[in-house]
């Protein structure tokens, strides 16, 4: 797998780089080590299982045994996403809750894009939809530092971050 784009909300990327560089690096390695799923209609459980193995290798644990896609280490919360858009916003609410309870300093949301999204049987959410919604809500919700990582299969062409950066600039100037 490879990262196509990273979005920083309230300095999420910067907090990871300064306070938790080893965790940031571990997430990058877990993404890179997750093999590309070759089956035409791969199940989301396979992908989450691959991330779970990769993250556990670096000392991450599941936040809740019933939520198989939420992981934590130190004060960093990682959500591996594969559901519909409504559940991405639910992840934002989880980040906000744990931040308000002083259990995390930063959240990381990993979202599939493009070719990888088409291979998932669950019909994963559109990768840019979450970023657009967060930009529209500005500083109202979520009020927590978050790093959003958009991922795709290794063979996918680059997404082109210009549309995200232009949207962010337009939002800042509004």
Instruction: Please tell me the distance from the alpha carbon of residue 48 to that of residue 32, in angstroms, as a whole number.
Output: 14
List pLDDT tens digits, range 94-149: 889 999 999 999 999 888 776 555 555 444 445 666 677 777 777 777 889 999 99
> Rounded to 5 degrees, what are φ and ψ at 39?
-65, 145
Please give the pLDDT value at position 1: 79
> Rounded to 5 degrees, what are φ and ψ at 164?
-70, -45
Range of the domain at 108: 2-173
> Band of the pLDDT at 157, cuts 50, 70, 90?
low
Consecutive H or E run containing 130? helix 127-137
Residue with tokens 């657009």: 132
Report the CATH number at residue 147.
Answer: 3.40.91.20
Q: Is this model's pTM higher than 0.85 or not?
A: no
Domains held by the chain: number = 1
Count, in order, helices (H) and strands (E) of the chain.
7, 6
Instruction: Please tell me the distance from the alpha carbon of residue 165 to that of residue 128, in angstroms, as a whole number.
Output: 11
Q: Are 128 and 163 in contact (CB under 8 A)?
A: yes
């Amino acid at each position: 797998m490879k990262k196509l784009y990273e979005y920083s909300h309230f300095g999420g990327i910067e907090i990871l780089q300064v306070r938790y560089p080893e965790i940031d690096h571990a997430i990058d390695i877990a993404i890179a080590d997750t093999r590309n799923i070759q089956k035409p209609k791969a199940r989301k459980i396979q992908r989450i299982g691959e991330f779970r193995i990769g993250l556990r290798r670096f000392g991450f644990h599941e936040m809740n045994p019933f939520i198989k896609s939420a992981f934590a280490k130190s004060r960093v919360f990682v959500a591996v996403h594969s559901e519909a858009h409504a559940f991405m916003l639910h992840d934002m609410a989880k980040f906000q809750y744990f931040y308000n309870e002083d259990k995390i300093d930063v959240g990381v949301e990993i979202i599939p894009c493009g070719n990888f999204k088409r291979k998932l049987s669950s019909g994963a959410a559109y990768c840019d939809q979450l970023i657009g919604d967060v930009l529209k809500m500005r500083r109202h919700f979520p009020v927590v530092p978050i790093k959003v990582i958009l991922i795709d299969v290794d063979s996918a062409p680059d997404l082109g971050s210009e549309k995200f950066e232009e949207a962010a600039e337009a939002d800042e100037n509004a």
